[in-house]
Amino acid sequence: MFKIAISNQKGGCGKTTSSINLAAGLAYAGKKVLLIDLDPQGNSTIGLGIKTENRQTIAELLCQEECEVKDIVQDTYIEGLHILPSDVSLAVADVKLAQIQAKEFALRSKLVDLTYDYIIIDTSPTFGTLLTNAVLAADYIILPVGLDYFNLAGMQNFMDTINRTNKKVGQLVNHRAEILGVLFTFFKMSTNHSKRIYDAINDLFGDKVFNTRIPENVRLKESQEAAKAIFDFDPNCSSAKAYNDFTNELMERLGAYVRN
């Protein structure tokens, strides 16, 4: 079972879009997938048309010892893809977590003995207990990035946070989340500025950068409004092809890790 967090401290870089479409792509490849919405905005939940009214969510899972994954998991319209949904109640849970013993391991402890092929974690863009929980639950981290300066400026701080979490907390349970790769999203190399950012990120991460780039495409936003993965909303658009390529590239990269 591969546990992958999609994370970056900057909002609007394609975390949720990539989480939904990677999870869907893996499910359509015949894998059993769990998508965890660990963002109080609940956009992955909304983006797949999942309702949380009068239902337990990830907030209860993290804060209530007796709550288990089976109590909150929901089916999606895609066969093989399940979700642990979120809504604004997670913001309150984030505060409550600060008072819980071993709060950093709340999510990790609930994922033991699950039988999924892949767990994809959509994270909040803010530093804090929720992001720490994601890092300590995940084997790998994917960083989605756009071609703007603020993405580049925040990446070193984000990497420092990941390294600090691995060193200070992860070592308590012999855990280290590894950067699996960097994914360019909303990709459009139209200016000298975007080319400089592109070159700088490639210089910083080298072969960690995925070959696939997700092009800027209004169909992605429209698919979210329709509560569909891009493969179902517009399977012939450039973004659907790109996310299909990315899904395959990710599986190949993880296969290489297993062989090594």
CA distance to 107, 113, 117, 123, 132, per residue, from 3 (Å): 12, 13, 9, 13, 14
Mean pLDDT of the chain: 87
Q: Is the pLDDT of residue 150 over 70?
A: no
Half-sphere exposure of 252 (CA within 13 A, CB side): 9
Q: Which residue has 């992001």 as its token pair? A: 131
Instruction: Give the other-Cβ count within 10 Å of 218's Cβ.
Output: 9
pLDDT tens, position by position, 28-87 = 999 999 999 999 899 999 999 999 998 999 999 998 889 999 999 999 999 999 999 999
Check which CATH number belongs to the domain holding 203 and give it. 3.40.50.300
259 band by pLDDT with thresholds 50, 70 and 90 = low
Residue, of 45 and 103, whose pLDDT is higher: 45
158 band by pLDDT with thresholds 50, 70 and 90 = confident
Residue, of 237 and 8, whose pLDDT is higher: 237
Range of the domain at 89: 2-259
- Report the distance separating Cα 109 and Cα 65, nearest Å: 10
Domain count, the chain: 1
Residue in 246, 245, 247, 240 with CA at minimum distance from that of residue 217: 240
Q: Is the pLDDT of residue 250 over 90?
A: yes
User: Across 12-26, 32-46, 171-185, which has the greatest mean pLDDT?
Assistant: 32-46
Is 0.85 topped by the overall pTM? yes
Q: Is the pLDDT of residue 174 over 90?
A: no
What is the reported pLDDT for 82?
A: 98
pLDDT tens, position by position, 181-239 = 999 887 676 667 677 878 888 888 888 999 999 998 889 889 999 999 999 999 999 99
> What end-to-end distance do the CA atoms of the chain give, in Å?
16
Mean pLDDT score, 88-102: 80
Q: Is the pLDDT of residue 159 over 90?
A: no
153 band by pLDDT with thresholds 50, 70 and 90 = low
* Both tokens assigned to 183: 């994914």
- Report the distance separating Cα 129 and Cα 40, nearest Å: 12
